[in-house]
């Protein structure tokens, strides 16, 4: 009886030659287990690598897209119009005072809040310009030495010269530091400095204004605004600051070169010279006596500066009448300068008085005093008792 054949016609293992039968793989439980473990290991490895591979691929794709976008925006045919030169500029309508104090409200030279507006600048001509949309403007502090040589700068140069607060200090500028331009102009609210300007090289600040870029900027380039440079001093210095111009009633140490409680101040007080008016009276009546009171410590140059400052004082429209008798009256300013005289019905003007009468005594208001007068043409000396009457 013939042996059973396989369907595929192959021979059974028993029918194969021994050399072939020995080369065929032999499966055991151990080999099967080893193969399963190996497959699982590869599966775990690929599972672990998959997130890493995905992240690397994503980063590479994003980098390629970024480079492509950058080159796209740099294309000359698609360049944003804002990069082109613009004649539009922010300006401060008026500058702040030349000397400011910490903690004090910053105002312009007329005592009003600072204002900014957009202008279309063509050479020296500036025409107000209304932006087609509201725009946010930031108020910042800049180095007083910027710009170095002329009034041209780039946005990067402007940004690099912004002055920040010193380490451990409050923000240098405090208050309403963001305003909105409407119709091309805006008023700046209350702002003040928190630190003085003595710690930077030039010892001066500027206030600057720049439009904040955003969705409403529409690529429109408006150049930044700058004030003139100014000094900022500590608030405690305001208590000792000089007045420009001084008032007649101001204490005498408000004058240049006379420090409060200083040597000159004490010398003047010892001679009952307490106010600017007292100082100016004696400077008219007896200049040399006033200089002697101040002493050799005040040089000629210092004296000229002090007197020049004192003479900027606002005199007002007050006038003093000195009635000599029923027939003679002289008229003086608040600091004893002769204005005119009525003598025996004749009126002498100031030019004539300059050549005829010289006051050598210090006349005090609301008192009776003796005044010595010399008539220069005859050199006759007369003592006249005068009653001062205020108009």
Q: What percent of the chain is modeled with pLDDT above 90?
A: 40
Tell me what pLDDT residue 191 has: 95
Q: Which of 73-87, 218-232, 358-372, 373-387 is modeled with the greatest confidence?
A: 218-232
Is residue 237 very low, low, confident or very high in pLDDT (cuts 50, 70, 90)? low
Higher pLDDT, 316 or 228: 228
Query: Does residue 273 surpass a pLDDT of 70?
Result: yes
Tell me what pLDDT residue 322 has: 73
CB 221 within 8 A of CB 82: yes
Query: Does residue 309 surpass a pLDDT of 90?
Result: yes
Q: How far apart are CA 249 and CA 342, in angstroms?
A: 29
CB 224 within 8 A of CB 90: yes
Tell me what pLDDT residue 288 has: 93
Is residue 214 very low, low, confident or very high in pLDDT (cuts 50, 70, 90)? low
Query: Does residue 26 surpass a pLDDT of 90?
Result: no
Task: Provide CB contacts within 8 A for 226, sequence distance 6+.
Answer: 92, 142, 146, 206, 207, 208
Query: Does residue 8 surpass a pLDDT of 60?
Result: no
CB 176 within 8 A of CB 190: yes
Is residue 72 very low, low, confident or very high in pLDDT (cuts 50, 70, 90)? very low
Burial letters 96-113, b for 16+ CB under 10 A, else e: bbeebbbeeebbbeeeee
Tell me what pLDDT residue 260 has: 86
Residue listed under structure tokens 């001084």: 246
CA 284 to chain centre: 42
Q: How far apart are CA 366 and CA 261, in angstroms?
A: 29
Tell me what pLDDT residue 170 has: 92
The token pair at 267 is: 């010398």
CB 251 within 8 A of CB 264: no
Please write the tens of the pLDDT for every residue from 130-158. Answer: 988 899 999 999 999 998 776 778 889 99
Average pLDDT of the chain is 76
Backbone angles phi, psi at 246, to 5 degrees: -75, 160
Q: How far apart are CA 334 and CA 320, in angstroms?
A: 7
Higher pLDDT, 171 or 242: 171
Please write the tens of the pLDDT for every residue from 80-89. Answer: 344 445 789 9
CB 127 within 8 A of CB 261: no
Separation in Å, CA 211 to CA 3, 11, 184, 189, 214: 102, 93, 11, 16, 9
How many other C-beta atoms are found inside a 10 Å radius of the C-beta of residue 253?
19
Q: What percent of the chain is modeled with pLDDT above 70?
A: 67
User: Residues 145, 149, 155, CA angle at the centre, nearest 5°?
Assistant: 75
Q: How far apart are CA 191 and CA 193, in angstroms?
A: 7
Tell me what pLDDT residue 334 has: 84
Q: Is the pTM of this model over 0.85?
A: no
Tell me what pLDDT residue 380 has: 35
Query: Does residue 385 surpass a pLDDT of 50?
Result: no
Tell me what pLDDT residue 375 has: 35
Mean pLDDT of 347-366: 51
Own/partner pairs for 142-145, CB < 8 Å, 24+ apart?
Answer: 142/205, 142/206, 142/207, 142/208, 142/226, 143/200, 143/201, 143/202, 143/205, 143/206, 144/197, 144/200, 144/202, 144/203, 144/204, 144/205, 144/206, 144/229, 144/230, 145/201, 145/202, 145/204, 145/229
């Amino acid at each position: 009886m013939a042996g059973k054949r396989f369907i595929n016609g192959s021979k059974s293992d028993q029918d194969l030659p021994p050399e072939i039968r020995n080369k065929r793989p032999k499966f055991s439980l151990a080999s099967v287990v080893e193969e399963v473990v190996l497959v699982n290991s590869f599966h775990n490895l690929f599972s672990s690598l998959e997130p890493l591979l995905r992240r690397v691929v994503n980063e590479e794709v994003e980098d390629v897209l970024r480079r492509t976008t950058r080159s796209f925006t740099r294309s000359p045919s698609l360049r944003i119009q804002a990069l082109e030169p613009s004649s539009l500029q922010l300006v401060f309508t008026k500058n702040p005072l030349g000397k400011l104090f910490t903690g004090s409200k910053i105002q312009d030279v007329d005592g009003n809040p600072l204002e900014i507006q957009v202008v279309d600048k063509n050479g020296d001509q500036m025409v107000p310009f209304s932006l087609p949309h509201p725009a946010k403007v930031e108020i910042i502090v800049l180095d007083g030495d910027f710009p170095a040589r002329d009034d041209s700068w780039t946005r990067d140069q402007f940004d690099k010269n912004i002055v920040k607060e010193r380490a451990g200090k409050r923000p240098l500028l405090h208050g309403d530091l963001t305003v909105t331009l409407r119709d091309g102009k805006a008023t700046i609210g209350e702002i003040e400095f928190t630190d003085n300007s003595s710690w930077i090289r030039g010892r001066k600040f500027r206030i600057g204004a720049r439009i904040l870029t955003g969705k409403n900027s529409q690529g429109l380039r408006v150049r930044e605004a700058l004030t003139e440079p100014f000094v900022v001093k500590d608030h405690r210095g305001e208590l000792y600051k000089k007045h420009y111009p001084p008032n007649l009633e101001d204490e005498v140490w408000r004058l240049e070169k006379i420090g409060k409680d200083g040597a000159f101040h004490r010398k003047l007080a010892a001679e009952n010279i307490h106010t600017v008016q007292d100082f100016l009276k004696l400077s008219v009546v007896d200049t040399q006596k006033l200089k002697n009171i101040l002493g050799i410590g005040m040089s000629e140059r210092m004296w000229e500066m002090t007197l020049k400052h004192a003479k900027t004082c606002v005199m007002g429209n007050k006038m003093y009448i000195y009635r000599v008798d029923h027939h003679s009256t002289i008229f003086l300013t608040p600091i004893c300068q002769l204005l005119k005289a009525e003598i025996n019905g004749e009126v002498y003007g100031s030019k004539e008085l300059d050549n005829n009468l010289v006051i050598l005594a210090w006349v005090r208001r609301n008192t009776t005093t003796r005044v010595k007068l010399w008539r220069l043409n005859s050199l006759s000396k007369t003592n006249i008792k005068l009653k001062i009457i205020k108009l």
